[in-house]
Structure 1
Amino acid sequence: MLDVAVIEDRAAAEASLDPMRSRILAALAEPGSAAMLAGRLGLARQKVNYHLKELERHGLVELAEERRKGNVTERVYRATAASYVISPSALAEVSPDPSRSPDQLSAHWLLALGARLVQEVGALVTGAARARRRVATFGLDAEVRFATAADRTAFAAELTEAVAALVSRYHDESADGGRSHRVVVALHQIPAAPLTAANPVPEHPDQPEQPEPPEPPEQDDRP
């Protein structure tokens, strides 16, 4: 079982988002048969069997073993991963494109960067899993609390300079056999409380008229 599987097919994404199938996927973190799942989830066995076949068809569950019980063969399934991420490629026609309107101060652009990160790393993970190879990656995660908005602006400026200096030092356009890598550094406000319908965005005291929405945790990509 993989730690994380990337769903790139639209039909598989739809199957995983079905509430009943999501419950079955979660339950199959531990292998089980249709009869066992029916007991765990309080569902009819026939209904569980139907959903299992659909999940298996989309590669979200797999056969773990078959057990003979008299004249009956019991099929035991397990989820193919402990958790799943749906790649933006599943909705390629409407997935965000960060090249459309790059703006370092735009939360929407940051979301587009995050979507591209998921799509590209997802493709690497899928290809590596098929080839039974590991993907060389590096992730950097940090948390910083700014005293003022001016400090945050200064931090962003220094971070930009530092990354630009590193890129210019190591980038070699003419290197034979060189491999292109993408570096993404994300900075976002951490919401003070869980988001709800009544509180859709976190408070932003230094810019009350235009609060910034929360973004996904930062991840740098160096495959």
Structure 2
Amino acid sequence: MKRIESVTRPEALQALAHPLRVQILERLREPASAATVARDLRVPRQRVNYHLKELEKARLVRLVGERRSGNFIETLYEPVARTFVVSPRVAWAHPRRAVAMAEQFSLEQLVLLGERLQRDAAVLLDRAAFEGEQIASASVEAEVRFATAQDRAEFMKAYLAALGPLLKKYGTAGGAPYRVLLSVYPDPEGEPRE
């Protein structure tokens, strides 16, 4: 089972929109049958079975085996991943967004970095929640105002110049890998100050 799956298909997003399906996916951290999930969630087996079939059609769960329970043979399911993260791109159906991203490379990179950050954070959160791992992390957010495009360009130039020596001084070929990000973009809700 994969650790994380990005939901990029509209049919998968639609399948995840039902709260019972999300509960079923959470319950399937270990392979289980519709009857087992129904007992645990205290809902009728037929309802769970219906939603499992919808999750299977959306390729969010898969069959992993069978087991005999009395006179019945139960089908066992598991999710295709431990965690699902909804890609923002799945909800962006308007073609103008695709054109804007294709024409503005740094804006496209911002969207892709945001998606990667969301995926990485979900994996680390699962490691902390389900494996008890202490995650060494830090985040910094700052607001800076640039009077001109030239000021913004100079800031990026100075930042990159300062970052190089830091990476060289503290970075090593061995050791635990960490990711360092910086994004500079206009605050979508901010108003310019005079």
Question: Which TM class, normalised by the smaller chain length?
Answer: 0.5 to 0.7
Aligned CA distance change for structure 1 residues 145 and 101 (closer, same or farther; 3 Å): closer
More helix per residue: 1 or 2? 2
Secondary structure of the residue that 1:76 maps to in structure 2?
strand
State the shift of 1:88 in Å. 3.4
CA–CA separation in structure 2 for the residues paired with 1:26 and 1:74: 19
Cα deviation, residue 162, structure 1: 3.8
CA separation of 1:160 and 1:24: change in aligned 2, threshold 3 A: farther
Query: Which residue in the other structure is 1:2 paired with?
Result: 2
Does the 8 Å CA contact 1:52/1:61 hold for their aligned counterparts?
Answer: yes
Inter-partner Cα distance in structure 1 for 2:5 and 2:112 = 17
For normalisation by structure 2, the TM-score amounts to 0.57
Instruction: In structure 2, give the amino acid aligned to 1:185.
Output: L
Which position in structure 2 is the counterpart of 1:143?
Answer: 139
- Asked if structure 2 preserves the Cα contact closer than 8 Å seen for 1:87 and 1:118, the reply is no
Conserved? CA contact 1:62–1:80, under 8 Å: yes
Distance 2:157 2:145 in 1: 11
Partner of 2:183: 186
State how far apart, in whole Å, the 2-side matches of 1:77 and 1:46 are.
15
Distance 1:81 1:162, change over 3 A: same
Going from structure 1 to structure 2, the CA distance change for 1:162 and 1:145 (only over 3 Å counts) comes to: closer
Q: CA-atom RMSD, angstroms? A: 3.9
Q: Which residue of 2 aligns with 1:115?
A: 111
Aligned to 1:56, what secondary structure does the other structure show? helix
The aligned residue for residue 93 of structure 1 is 93
How many residue pairs get aligned? The number is 147
- Cα distance, 1:65 vs. partner? 1.7
Query: Is 1:79 the equivalent of 2:79?
Result: yes
- Percent identity at matched positions? 33
The 2-side partners of 1:121 and 1:37 are apart by: 32
Which residue in 1 is equivalent to 2:60?
60
Stretches of structure 1 that go unaligned for 5 or more consecutive residues are 104-108, 123-140, 167-182, 189-200, 202-206, 211-223
The offset of 1:187, in angstroms, is 6.2
1:32-59 CA-to-partner distances (Å, cap 9, x unmatched) read 1111111111111000000001101111
Describe the shift of the 1:99–1:34 C-alpha distance in structure 2 as closer, same or farther (beyond 3 A): same
The 1:70/1:119 distance shift into structure 2, 3 A limit, reads: same
Distance 1:2 1:74, change over 3 A: same
- TM-score with structure 1 setting the length: 0.51
Cα deviation, residue 18, structure 1: 1.5
d(CA) in 1 for partners of 2:30, 2:88: 28
Aligned to 1:31: 31
C-alpha contact 1:88 1:116 (8 A) present in aligned 2? no
Report the 3-state secondary structure (helix = DSSP H, G, I; strand = E; otherwise coil) of the residue aligned with 1:85: strand
**Distance between the aligned counterparts of 2:105 and 2:62, measured in 1?**
42
Q: Which runs of 5+ in 2 are unaligned?
A: 119-136, 147-151, 164-179
